[in-house]
C-alpha cells in the first residue's frame, strides 16, 4: 500500500467516525471496515468524471447498505463531486446534502436511493439490464460500463436480494460486480444468531461467478485483483466476497455489534486516530490528499471526451438513440395512440396492452413485462424480442414470480436512463412490491407500474385475490401518480400521461370488460377529473373511478326515471386532480351540490372529495365477479338509492 493509499484510507475512516459523532447519529463501523474497498473502487477501478456526474457511459456505484452513507459521502467529497467538509459536518441535519441514507437527485454522485436493505442489489440488476440492452441495440462503442455495488449480510438476508440475484444469474448480466462485506455482525449480534447460509454456494447456484477473497479487507492490491477478475467474466454476474472486521481499527468497538451504529465517541475516536497516524482533529483532510483525490476524480474526463467523440461519429439510428436517452418518443409518437369506439366493451387491461403495443414501435425506451402474469396484465410487448442471456437487446422481460425484485429492478432501469420500464402484476400483489414502489416515488423514478384485476370483480378467486384496500394504500404514497381509468379511452390518456410525465405512474386496470363511454375520449384525464355527463339543473353529483364510472352512468339513468337529475364525474387520478387549479376542481365537483363517491374498494380518503361514498369496507367473497359486485352494493340500483337518500338527508 502506497503512502497516499494508506493516508487516504485513514482519512476516510476518520470522516466515518467524525460525521456520525457530530450528528450523534449514524453508522460508523461498516464505513470504516469498507474504506479500503471503496477506495479501490473510486481510485483504481471505476470510470467516472466527478465534474460530469451524469455522463451516460460512466460506471455506476450502488451502496445497497445505505446506512453506511458516510462512506460514500466521504468518497464524493474527496473525489470532487461537490460535497464540502461543511456538508459532512451537517451529516443527517435538516436541509443538508448528506442525509442519513443516500438519495438520488439530492446528492451529486448518488445513483439510487437506498435504505431498506436489499433494494440496492435489485436496483443494480435493473441498471445492468438497461446497460446490456443499450449496448446490444446501439453498440459497445456507445455503451459499455459496469455496475458496482457494496452489500452486507442484511442485504443478502432480505428476500428481495434472492429474487434479484436469481434473475440476474438467469439473464447472464455480466456487468454486475457486487462486493459482499462478510463481517459476521448484525445489530442483534453475530450473524450466527439467525444466519447460517453459505452465500457463495447460493450465488453459484443462481449462476453467478464468485470470487472468495477471504480476509483481505486491508490489502488493496488483493481487492483490486479480485474485482478485476470479476470484471473479466462477461457472461454472468459476479459476487466478490471479502471478510472484514466491522469498525476496524477502532481500539474498543471493532468486531462488536455496537460498531454497526454510533458507538465510537470522543476518547475512542482520538485513540483510533492515533493508531492510524491522524491528529486528534475532527474532519481532518490533508490538502495533498484532497488534491491527489481530485485528480483521480477528474481522471475519467478523458474517457468521457473519447465517448463524446464516438457518439458524435455514431452512424446508427440517432433519432432512436436520442429518444431513448431523453426518455421520449420518436417525433409524432402521439399519433400512434389507438382509439376505441363508443359502445364497444373491453377490459382496461386489454386496452392497455393495445396502447403499450402501439407505443412500443414509437417509444423505443419502453421495456418490461410481468411477474409471471404477462398476458394477464397486458404487459406483452410483441415483435421486439425477449430479453435473455442470448438476446440482451430484447424489450420483453419475463420477471418470473418475483414481484418485489421486479419493482426495484424497474427503478434501477429508470434511474440508469435509456429505458422506460413497465412492470405488471395483479393489484392485490402490489403489497409484495410496496417497498420498491415507495422508493420509486421518493426517487422520482419514471417506473410504470401496471396493476390489473383491480377489484372484487376478480370474482371466483375470492378475497385473497380481490383487492379492496390496495388503491387507497397506493394513493397514500406521496409522489405516486395513481390512475384508475374508466374505460379504454381513459386508458389511452393514462399511458400518454405516464410517458410524458416525470416520476412513477400506477395504472389500475380491470379484469372484466367495461363499456367505452360517451365523452371519455375528450375527457380531461390530465386534470385528474372532469364532468362526464351533466344536466341543466343537477341535484346530485355521482363521482366514480375505474369500472364504477359506468355504474354511475347507469345510476344516473335510474335517478332520471325517478325525476332526479344527476351529474356524473370521472375522477381517474386524485393526485392530478389535487394539483389542478381550484377553479377546475370547483367546476367539476360543484361545492354545495350533494355528492356521492362510488368505488369498489375501501372508503378511506373519499370524504375529502364527496359527502358520502358507496364503497366496500370489508373483504370480498368467492363468486362470479358480477355477483360479488352486486351483492356488495356496487350496482346502479344501490348507487341510485344511496344518492336519493343523500338528497333526502
Residues 423 and 399 sit within 8 Å (Cβ to Cβ)? yes
pLDDT at 1 > cutoff 90: no
Tell me whether residue 403 is one of the annotated catalytic residues: yes
Mean predicted lDDT score pLDDT of the chain: 97
For domain 3-303, give the CATH number: 3.40.50.970
Find the radius of gyration of the CA atoms of the chain: 27
144-147, Cβ contacts within 8 angstroms, sequence gap of 24 or more: 144/57, 145/47, 145/57, 145/58, 145/59, 145/60, 145/175, 146/46, 146/59, 146/60, 146/175, 146/176, 146/177, 146/231, 147/59, 147/60, 147/62, 147/175, 147/176, 147/177
In the chain, where does the domain assigned CATH 3.40.50.970 lie? 3-303, 333-515
Neighbours of 193 (CB within 10 A): 10
pLDDT for the residue 649: 86
pLDDT for the residue 54: 95
Q: Give the pLDDT confidence of 555-614 residue by residue, as tens digits.
A: 999 999 999 999 999 999 999 999 999 999 999 999 999 999 999 999 999 999 999 999
Using 50, 70 and 90 to split pLDDT, how confident is the model at 35?
A: very high
Query: How far is the C-alpha of 171 from the C-alpha of 208, rounded, in Å?
Result: 10
Q: Give the pLDDT confidence of 220-234 residue by residue, as tens digits.
A: 999 999 999 999 999
Mean pLDDT of 535-551: 97
pTM, full prediction: 0.97
Residues 25 and 93 sit within 8 Å (Cβ to Cβ)? no
Query: How far is the C-alpha of 132 from the C-alpha of 124, rounded, in Å?
Result: 12
pLDDT for the residue 224: 98
Which among 443, 395, 456 is positioned nearest to 423, based on CA atoms? 395
Mean pLDDT of 534-547: 97
C-alpha cell at 89: 459536518
Q: Assign domain 333-515 to its CATH architecture.
A: 3-Layer(aba) Sandwich (3.40)
Q: Give the pLDDT confidence of 251-302 residue by residue, as tens digits.
A: 999 999 999 999 999 999 999 999 999 999 999 999 999 999 999 999 999 9
Mean pLDDT of 91-95: 98
Using 50, 70 and 90 to split pLDDT, how confident is the model at 191?
A: confident
Identify the active-site residue in 158, 403, 490, 599: 403
CA end-to-end span of the chain: 82
Mean pLDDT of 502-521: 98
C-alpha cell at 629: 359486485
pLDDT for the residue 88: 98
Cα 274 to chain center, whole Å? 43
pLDDT at 56 > cutoff 80: yes
Sheet with 209-214, side-by-side order of all strands: 60-63, 147-152, 176-182, 238-243, 209-214
Strands (E), 14-58: none
C-alpha cell at 241: 466476497
Mean pLDDT of 297-311: 96
Preceding peptide of 249 cis, ω within 30°: yes
CATH number for the 525-648 domain, one of 3.40.50.920, 3.20.20.10, 1.20.1250.20, 3.40.30.10?
Answer: 3.40.50.920
465-468, Cβ contacts within 8 angstroms, sequence gap of 24 or more: 465/426, 465/428, 466/428, 466/619, 466/620, 466/621, 466/628, 467/426, 467/427, 467/428, 467/430, 467/601, 468/600, 468/601, 468/602, 468/616, 468/617, 468/618, 468/619, 468/620
Give the pairing of strands 345-346 and 514-515.
Answer: antiparallel
Q: Give the pLDDT confidence of 151-179 residue by residue, as tens digits.
A: 999 999 999 999 999 999 999 999 999 99
Q: Give the pLDDT confidence of 383-427 residue by residue, as tens digits.
A: 999 999 999 999 999 999 999 999 999 999 999 999 999 999 999
In the chain, where does the domain assigned CATH 3.40.50.920 lie? 525-648
Q: Give the pLDDT confidence of 466-486 residue by residue, as tens digits.
A: 999 999 999 999 999 999 999
C-alpha cell at 119: 433494494
DSSP state, residue 41: I
Which among 34, 68, 62, 41 is positioned nearest to 230, based on CA atoms? 41
Amino acid at each position: 500500500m502506497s503512502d497516499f493509499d494508506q493516508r487516504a484510507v485513514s482519512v476516510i475512516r476518520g470522516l466515518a467516525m467524525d460525521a456520525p459523532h457530530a450528528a450523534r447519529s449514524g453508522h460508523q463501523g461498516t464505513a470504516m471496515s469498507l474504506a479500503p474497498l471503496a477506495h479501490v473502487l473510486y481510485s483504481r477501478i471505476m470510470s467516472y468524471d466527478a465534474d460530469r456526474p451524469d455522463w451516460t457511459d460512466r460506471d455506476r456505484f450502488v451502496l445497497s447498505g445505505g446506512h453506511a452513507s458516510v462512506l460514500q459521502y466521504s468518497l464524493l467529497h474527496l473525489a470532487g463531486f461537490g460535497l464540502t467538509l461543511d456538508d459532512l459536518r451537517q451529516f443527517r441535519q435538516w436541509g443538508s446534502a448528506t442525509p442519513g441514507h443516500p438519495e438520488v437527485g439530492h446528492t451529486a454522485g448518488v445513483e439510487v436511493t437506498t435504505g431498506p436493505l436489499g433494494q440496492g442489489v435489485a436496483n443494480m440488476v435493473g441498471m445492468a439490464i438497461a446497460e446490456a440492452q443499450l449496448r446490444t441495440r446501439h453498440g459497445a462503442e456507445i455503451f459499455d460500463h459496469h455496475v458496482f455495488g457494496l452489500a452486507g449480510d442484511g442485504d443478502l438476508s432480505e428476500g428481495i436480494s434472492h429474487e434479484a440475484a436469481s434473475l440476474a444469474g438467469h439473464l447472464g448480466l455480466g456487468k454486475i460486480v457486487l462486493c459482499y462485506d462478510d463481517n459476521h455482525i448484525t445489530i442483534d449480534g453475530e450473524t450466527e444468531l439467525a444466519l447460517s447460509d453459505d452465500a457463495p454456494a447460493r450465488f453459484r447456484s443462481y449462476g453467478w461467478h464468485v470470487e472468495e477473497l477471504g480476509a483481505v479487507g486491508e490489502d488493496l492490491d488483493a481487492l483490486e485483483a479480485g474485482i478485476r477478475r470479476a470484471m473479466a467474466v462477461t457472461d454472468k454476474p459476479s459476487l466478490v466476497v471479502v471478510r472484514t472486521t466491522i469498525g476496524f481499527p477502532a481500539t474498543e468497538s471493532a468486531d462488536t455489534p455496537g460498531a454497526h451504529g454510533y458507538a465510537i465517541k470522543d476518547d475512542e475516536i482520538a485513540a483510533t486516530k492515533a493508531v492510524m497516524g491522524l491528529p486528534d482533529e475532527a474532519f481532518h483532510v490533508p490538502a495533498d490528499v484532497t488534491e491527489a483525490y481530485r485528480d483521480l476524480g477528474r481522471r475519467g474526463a478523458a474517457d468521457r471526451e473519447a465517448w463524446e467523440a464516438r457518439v458524435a461519429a455514431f452512424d446508427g439510428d440517432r433519432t432512436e438513440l436520442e429518444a431513448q436517452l431523453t426518455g421520449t418518443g420518436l417525433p409524432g409518437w402521439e399519433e400512434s395512440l389507438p382509439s376505441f369506439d363508443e359502445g364497444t366493451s373491453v377490459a382496461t387491461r386489454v386496452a392497455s396492452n393495445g396502447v403499450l403495443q402501439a407505443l412500443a414501435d414509437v417509444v423505443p425506451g419502453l421495456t418490461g413485462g410481468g411477474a409471471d402474469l404477462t398476458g394477464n396484465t397486458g404487459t406483452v410487448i410483441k415483435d421486439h424480442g425477449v430479453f435473455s442471456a442470448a438476446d440482451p437487446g430484447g424489450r420483453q422481460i419475463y420477471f418470473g414470480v418475483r414481484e418485489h425484485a421486479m419493482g426495484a429492478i424497474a427503478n434501477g432501469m429508470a434511474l440508469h436512463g435509456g429505458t422506460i420500464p413497465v412492470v405488471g402484476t395483479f393489484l392485490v400483489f402490489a403489497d409484495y412490491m410496496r417497498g420498491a414502489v415507495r422508493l420509486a416515488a421518493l426517487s422520482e423514478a419514471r417506473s410504470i407500474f401496471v396493476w390489473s384485476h383491480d377489484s372484487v370483480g376478480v370474482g371466483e378467486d375470492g378475497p385473497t385475490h380481490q383487492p379492496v384496500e390496495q388503491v387507497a394504500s397506493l394513493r397514500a404514497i406521496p409522489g405516486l401518480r395513481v390512475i384508475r381509468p374508466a374505460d379504454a379511452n381513459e386508458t389511452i390518456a393514462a399511458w400518454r400521461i405516464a410517458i410524458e410525465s416525470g416520476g412513477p405512474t400506477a395504472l389500475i386496470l380491470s379484469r372484466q370488460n367495461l363499456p367505452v363511454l360517451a365523452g371519455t375520449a375528450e375527457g380531461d384525464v390530465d386534470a385528474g377529473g372532469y364532468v362526464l355527463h351533466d344536466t341543466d339543473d343537477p341535484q346530485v353529483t355521482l363521482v366514480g373511478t375505474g369500472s364504477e364510472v359506468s355504474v354511475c352512468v347507469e345510476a344516473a339513468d335510474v335517478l332520471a326515471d325517478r325525476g332526479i337529475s344527476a351529474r356524473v364525474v370521472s375522477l381517474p387520478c386524485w393526485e392530478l386532480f389535487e394539483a389542478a387549479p381550484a377553479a377546475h376542481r370547483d367546476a367539476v365537483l360543484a361545492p354545495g351540490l350533494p355528492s356521492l363517491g362510488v368505488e369498489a374498494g375501501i372508503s378511506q380518503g373519499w370524504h375529502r372529495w364527496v359527502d358520502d361514498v358507496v364503497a366496500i369496507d370489508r373483504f370480498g367473497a368467492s363468486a362470479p365477479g358480477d355477483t360479488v359486485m352486486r351483492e356488495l352494493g356496487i350496482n346502479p340500483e344501490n348507487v341510485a338509492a344511496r344518492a336519493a337518500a343523500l338528497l333526502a338527508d
